[in-house]
Structure 1
């Protein structure tokens, strides 16, 4: 009797879409060239930048799994940073425009330094700390400069071996105590709170407020960075050697772990700290950050070192062959537990044909070339095909609508912090042709700009910046690039639209060429504008060849649209 072929069980998946909730993440990890750079102890690139779902967290988790004795993970949520940013005196100094960078840098250096020492020597109690210090001082008996640097560690006495959040509170409390001694307005802050102190400050002359800000700035500038920097020398020369090479990984910087108003300053100062600590030879600090947060960091506030930071960036980018490899590896593992005789994703997909094409390419063309997209689409397909031996084309197309809707929600969630109301912009492309002429695309951009007149639109600030030329220029004065390129660049960057150059049949998207629409001459050559296939089903995009008479009749003419814009401005 022939053995029956196993069927796809209900609940069969290729793992979770997020690394922290993915049972297959470790075993099915694909070691791309990107991971090799992350793990390379001599490669200085350490800022892992990418969109949500691009594999940043998975890469750091794999490093931690592969090098368990050499990796320290620091989680921002565990550092009591909300406690610091909520302190009345910190908020008061912020209201006086006191630059807190040196304090934030000292804080990060302190956290990193102590975590590395605790990990290296297993410091978990006062006794182990004392043994470590005595032993190190004996080795440095003929190096008084380095011995003096160790005094910094003695200042924290009982808090050294505690959890990071307690040590962060300790160093912050010491800082605010110093402000209490040296700052003349600390009493008013304590008595009246921030609002009372600020109200009192507003009654003073501009000169007195300036003097107060200068006094606080001096105190911040005297933060013990010199002692911390001396300890970094000790760390490099005496504590970390090749056998004790240490990675520090920092992830989850996109979560609500601190007041949003100060989060960018904290992250920017973390980047400055990492840059400075690259002097330690046997240490590599790897920081993962979402692309949209990275682009908001004001590196000019760090003394114009933007080039230095960008030289250390490693962008998470994937190709279709690599994503297919990701799916293959997951199918091998998932199939074993489900008794499926599949060695690759191709074994579970329908056959290619001239009419519908290649099913794997069909799926990958509807991703932003991120592992999360590919896994999500495959899982949705398997949910539809439960009980069958393999997927059919009908299963893939049935799964696409739900997948597309979920990806549209994910797009909103990814960018709503940076661009509030972005979902209202995206829906302006509902019912659009999959391939738009420049005039058709311009009509949609005009509708997006007119959202500024809608009371419920929450993105007035950023939309004003992107459409300024439209409101300020007289008719016929501004070029198409001046009027529309800023908004085009945003829609291109988030992955919603792509462009096909003159004479080109295939559109290019951000994953293909990140800088395509940054050049005025290139934008001038763009003949067609495309909504990404990922969002076609969710936005009811009209495919080429389908009738669009109803859409055309309901859309205002170009001249009417221009008149609407003019009336709104006036």
Structure 2
């Protein structure tokens, strides 16, 4: 057996993995077990809504669960559900334009999808014969329970479609519902003009005079779904189908994709949350839903009968400490180095040793330029490794050169993350171009005034969301800047873009440190300085110590 060659130079192909879970070759080999992954795997911990910023590791945790326990895990993708197709249907758009509440239909759709997927997974149903065998077995077992026998009739109604692909089954149900709506509206109501569209930017527009009675008529159609039978089937699922041996995880991810109608999609996601809450009664089932923080904020739980606190108690907020991120990077360095025949066991083995007199340790320098997310840290280190190719280890010169490209990409990522919720967010961030890294309240107000003026321009694409934030600024007679600018300041803080240092505090705190830090004008009164996050210094040419940003300088302002 030949001895493995040990290299002394960093190879150009050496990386610490991919930034996306689905394209990360090191995900399983270097997966860091954290409290979050333990919570998801737990069969008794009720937290099942995985909420976090993009790049926080939500998808990685779900992928790890699926990879480590595939026999007990079902993955449902929005792409398999034809959700853009559903929300874009003319009939759905028409009912929404009439203010018809579609919650009952959305919930029935989710319950149907989950029920069929679980039964197919549990009994390996992949043909008409297999379906009939399963149903016959269940009928014999439930012979003495007429109520549960009747519930099984629900499955018979789908006849030959039971084993079809998920998207086919979903389209069949939705198309049948749309046909009913069109039939009801055939008496003088034309749905065609509303196809994919009686709505613009979330503003309702009804192109036909409808009246209260017509809305009520369509509301009855929307409510006429088979929730009663579905709920009985859920009892069958709990008592007759799933047991401890067949405990099942259902994983739902990628709910942040661009859909036809963002507001309708938020309604659909909110109804999924309600269904998951209802399915808590199924003992040997855990439905896990991953959702980006910005989408979670948009969900209107007020429509869910005052259950907001119940939802929030089931949330797993994905966050990372600097120690956890370093541990994650250590594991990746070890696996990647071993693969490439390089002698390195930890991150510090490939970084500049010791501490720089002004920059501190290389690990701290890099992590301070992340939003405390794995994706940021991996992206920065990959840039550093690319710059250091051919060398024996990463140098400070490599880090400084890598920071320029990394910062520019992170600024683009910030814009892309938030623009579905906040259109034209990039124009708001650009107002900080060339600003000091440390802002006094007076300096911050000047920038916020520029943003407020931007928000009044007809050419600005984000007027719908920014109006409420800037409205207090234009109120006459107010001389309390804390109250005038609190909403806009809190918004920049919530993005992770702006940090705050209170009186008596030497270092700024960001949203990842304390999400509620600037939640009220009274708290802002204690603010001494505001800081632009270091991640974006290079991309925005932020000024440090009065001079334009120069990454070669040894000054690293807090």
TM bin (shorter chain):
over 0.9
Output the CA distance in 2 between the equivalents of 1:203 and 1:369: 51
1:271 match: secondary structure: helix
Superimposed CA distance per residue, residues 139-161 of structure 1 (whole angstroms, 9 cap, x where no aligned partner): 11111111110000000000000
Match of 1:559 in 2: none
1:560 match: none
**Does structure 2 retain, via aligned residues, the 8 Å contact 1:189–1:196?**
no
Q: 2:466 aligns with which of 440, 463, 466?
A: 463
Q: 1:346 deviation in Å?
A: 0.6
For residue 468 of structure 2, give the secondary structure of its aligned residue in structure 1: helix
Q: Sort the Cα spacing of 1:493 and 1:243 in 2 relative to 1 into closer, same or farther, 3 A.
A: same
The structural deviation recorded for 1:544 is 3.1
Q: 1:318 aligns with which of 294, 317, 320?
A: 320
Give me the whole-angstrom Cα distance separating, in 1, the residues matched to 2:197 and 2:542.
56
Judged with a 3 Å threshold, the aligned counterparts in structure 2 of structure 1 residues 256 and 547 are, in CA distance, closer, same or farther, namely: closer
Query: Could you tell me which residue of structure 2 aligns to residue 131 of structure 1?
Result: 133
Residue pair 2:90, 2:192 contacting (<8 A) in 1 also: no
Displacement of 1:180 after TM fit? 5.4
Tell me the distance in 1 between the aligned counterparts of 2:446 and 2:546. Answer: 20
Distance 1:514 1:195, change over 3 A: closer
Is the 2:57–2:318 Cα contact (8 Å) retained in structure 1? Answer: yes
**Mapped partners of 1:65, 1:539: distance in 2:** 40
Selected match of 2:372 from 361, 369, 372: 369
| 1:393-433 C-alpha deviation (Å, 9 max, x unpaired) | 11111111111111000000001111111111111111111
Check if 1:236 corresponds to 2:238: yes
Structure 2 partner of 1:186: 186
Stretch moving more, 312-321 or 187-196: 187-196
In the alignment, is the contact (CA less than 8 A) between 2:483 and 2:521 conserved in 1?
Answer: no
SS in 2 for 1:500: strand
Distance in 1 between residues matched to 2:149 and 2:6, nearest whole Å: 74
> After superposition, where does 1:103-502 map in structure 2 within 5 Å?
103-179=105-181, 183=184, 185-186=185-186, 188=188, 194=194, 204=209, 209-355=211-357, 356-471=359-474, 473-475=475-477, 477-502=478-503
Confirm or deny: 8 A CA contact 1:88 1:189 kept in the other structure: no
Q: In 2, are the aligned partners of 1:76 and 1:257 still within 8 Å (CA)?
A: no
- Aligned twin of 1:96: 98
Residue in structure 2 matched with residue 535 of structure 1 by the alignment: 536
Aligned to 2:84: 82
Question: How far 1:192 sits from its partner (Å)?
Answer: 5.2
SS state of the match for residue 423, structure 2? coil
**Structure 1 unaligned runs (5+)?**
549-570
Q: Is the 8 A contact 1:188 1:196 kept in 2?
A: no
- Quick one: structure 1 residues 485 and 96, their matched pair in 2 at CA, closer, same or farther if it must change by over 3 Å? same
Q: Deviations over 1:358-377 (max 9, x none)?
A: 10011001000000000000
1:508 matched residue in structure 2: 509
1:457 Cα deviation after fit: 1.8
CA shift, 1:176, in A, is 3.3
Deviation at 1:444, TM superposition (A): 1.1
Cα shift at 1:134: 0.3
Question: Is the 8 Å Cα contact of residues 466 and 487 (structure 1) preserved in structure 2?
Answer: yes
Task: For 2:431 and 2:90, locate their aligned partners in 1 and report how far apart those are by CA, in whole Å.
Answer: 44
CA deviations 1:4-37 (Å, max 9, x no partner) are 8520111211010110111111111101011111
TM-score w.r.t. length of structure 2: 0.93
CA 1:104–1:391: 2 relative to 1, 3 Å: same
Deviations, residues 446-485 of structure 1 (Å, cap 9, x unaligned) = 11111124443211222211010112x214x242122101
SS at match of 2:272: helix
Flag the 1:193–1:424 CA change in 2: closer, same or farther, 3 A. closer
Q: SS at 1:327's partner residue?
A: helix
Tell whether the 8 Å contact from 2:482 to 2:522 is kept in structure 1 after alignment. no
Separation in structure 1 between the aligned mates of residue 260 and residue 245 of structure 2, nearest angstrom = 36
Q: Which residue of 2 aligns with 1:562?
A: none
Q: 2: CA distance between counterparts of 1:447 and 1:196?
A: 36
Answer yes or no: is the 8 Å Cα contact 2:93–2:196 preserved in 1: no
Range with bigger deviation, 163-172 or 378-387: 163-172
**Residue 83 of structure 1: how far off its partner (Å):** 2.8
Q: For residues 148 and 187 of structure 1, what CA distance do their matches in structure 2 show?
A: 36
Measure, in 1, the Cα distance between the counterparts of 2:532 and 2:222: 50
Q: Deviations over 1:211-269 (max 9, x none)?
A: 11101111222211000000000000000000000000000000124432411111111
Shift of the 213–480 alpha-carbon distance from structure 1 to 2, 3 Å rule, reads same
- Supply the distance in 2 between the matched residues of 1:174 and 1:460 (Cα, whole angstroms): 39
Q: How does 1:57-76 map to 2 (within 5 A)?
A: 57-76=59-78
Q: Could you tell me which runs of 5 or more consecutive residues in structure 2 were left unpaired when the two chains were aligned.
A: 199-205, 550-558
Q: Is the 8 A contact 1:249 1:285 kept in 2?
A: yes
CA contact (8 A) 2:502 2:529 kept: yes
Structure 1 length-normalised TM: 0.91
Cα 1:482–1:213 shift into 2, 3 Å: same
| More deviation, 168-177/536-545 | 168-177
Task: Classify the secondary structure of the residue corresponding to 2:355.
Answer: coil
**Contact 2:10 2:385 survives alignment (8 Å):** yes
